[in-house]
Structure 1
């Protein structure tokens, strides 16, 4: 019995010693030096003193950074304990923005910001989730009739495409397809990231909240209006490629290669307006370079990152602007097959014909024949 008690006492002593050793080594020297050698503490004051350097580092101005911190800061802040001091909300936001801006790994964040790898990974997910949750209604508000009219004015002035209220397309990121609509200011007005890469743009669109609202006529789209002084009233439309199908509020190109001159003109003018969504995606990926590399993440985590980047795209776009050259050149005309899908209403075909007539007559622009290689 005594030997058993001695063995038990020895085991308790060993466990206590092991626990003390763990406590002594529970923080790696790299993370232990976060407050003195972490990138946030070493360069943040210098960045604050130089607006250009700050913008290059965080992809936004100091004013936007401060506003963003004021909105989500209370929701990403953690309480300190008697064992460990928490990472401040400003530093957590800086870590996340740097991750999204550079596309670096969690291990790189560990080395530069001197925090644990799993800690950095958790911070990124928490902040991205907070960005979407608390900025979503600010950056993606429900559009009123007045706001649709402002979007239409943008496409009419910038792309010479009247009655257009958005360009739509899908883009694949991290094996997921993002369906998005944008205005003529390259700002996303709608995104859907709940779909996967194996699905087509057409099926994603028809399963989207946008399509359902369009079918239910709950998008607050204004009533039809003429595109010319003496023309018939035409509906407000989105522009997309042939995958989305022709409908009352969706214009897509004529299919085939041997098209009449009028149809070629229409395809060019539609393609020119549709390029705004392609440019919006380009601005998104060039600013947030996390999209330039593959990510080994759970689906929910990938969705959080995509939503956060799209939200930040709008947030920064509205406050800081984006210097982006708006070119009139189009790489090529769409030679779609099947732009008129089975079940397409005759009224939609008529609507496209009327837009086509307008672009070939009173709504023509001086360069359109040259752009399709058909001088007149």
Structure 2
């Protein structure tokens, strides 16, 4: 992260971080933000972060937890707003121009984020991989940018189940996502609805497409599956970029599920913020 981007983020959270009194002689808001970003990007334990900044372990832990909360509470409403009709159409246009998949509103998938087993949680967070996790459910556009996210579902639930129970899925089923109306396909007279795309774990609906099952002999169906798979990889690529930039996701997060949710949410905001600023400055 460049100094300019750090200053931009710091300027938006400085006031609330300054108000939060952590110890008798509180560290500055800039140090708290730097400490938190180091924690997210390096993947180091909080005890190592504390040593690097020459503060006590509890001081570092409290500063990081509170800063994660501020990043999510203050920046999410501004930088993670749900798309409106015009933005959805722009997202669909991006999928057509970049991946030749029309009327696509986003690629959907879930990622298991490994956590240390919470006390007295039983098998609630135990997933099919044999680890404990919470699920990040995301809708990603053609440029690998997170547009909608839901964090915190227990790892034992399938991706389809997480999506159905998430605020994203419930709003989609209730028609509350401000989706655009039907649109004519490029180079065709056919008019079809806009839809999200995902893998076989998700339910097939008019507003959600998935591949044809099994090995298909029909050339048209094979081409459809190929195009859908290529566009769907956007969400997988976005998760890969996220893991490369924020190394905290490379191992178990030693936080409570609630703090892990704030951690993941703050990372989404930070990535959205950085992506948007870099696009504005350099493209």
Per the normalisation by structure 1, the TM-score is 0.67
Q: 1:248 aligns with which of 192, 206, 227?
A: 206
The answer to whether the aligner puts 1:73 opposite 2:14 as a matched pair is yes
Q: RMSD over aligned Cα, in angstroms?
A: 1.8
Query: Partners in 1 of 2:243 and 2:172 — Cα distance?
Result: 29
Runs of at least 5 residues in structure 2 that lack an aligned partner in the other structure: 115-132
Cα separation, 1, equivalents of 2:21 and 2:77: 31
1:261 CA displacement: 2.0
Question: Greater relative contact order: 1 or 2 (C-alpha under 8 angstroms, separation 6 or more)?
Answer: 2
Whole-angstrom CA distance in 2 between matches of 1:109 and 1:230 = 57
1:202-213 alignment, distance < 5 Å: 202-213=160-171
Instruction: Say which of 215, 224, 231 aligns to 1:257.
Output: 215
> Which of 250, 263, 266 lines up with 1:308 in the alignment?
266
Q: Is the 8 A contact 1:132 1:304 kept in 2?
A: yes
Gaps of 5+ in 1: 1-59, 322-376
Q: Does structure 1 retain, via aligned residues, the 8 Å contact 2:14–2:29?
A: yes
What is the CA–CA distance in structure 1 between the aligned matches of 2:216 and 2:88, rounded to whole Å? 35
For the Cα contact (< 8 Å) 1:78–1:86, is it kept in 2? no
| Distance in structure 2 (CA, Å) of the matches to 1:75 and 1:100 | 20
C-alpha change, 1:163 and 1:118, in structure 2 (3 Å) is same
Deviation at 1:78, TM superposition (A): 4.6
Which residue in the other structure is 2:119 paired with?
none
Q: In 2, distance between residues paired with 1:149 and 1:80?
A: 45
Aligned pairs for 1:138-153 within 5 A: 138-153=78-93
Report deviation, 1:106.
1.3
Distance verdict in 2 for CA 1:265–1:118, change over 3 Å: same
Q: Is residue 60 of structure 2 the alignment partner of residue 102 of structure 1?
A: no
Q: Provide, for residues 276-330 of structure 1, a one-character-per-residue CA deviation record: whole Å limited to 9, x for no partner.
A: 1111111111111110111222111111111111111111111125xxxxxxxxx
Instruction: Compare CA radii of gyration and give the structure with the larger one.
Output: 1
TM-score by length of 2: 0.88
SS in 2 for 1:301: helix
Partner of 1:40: none
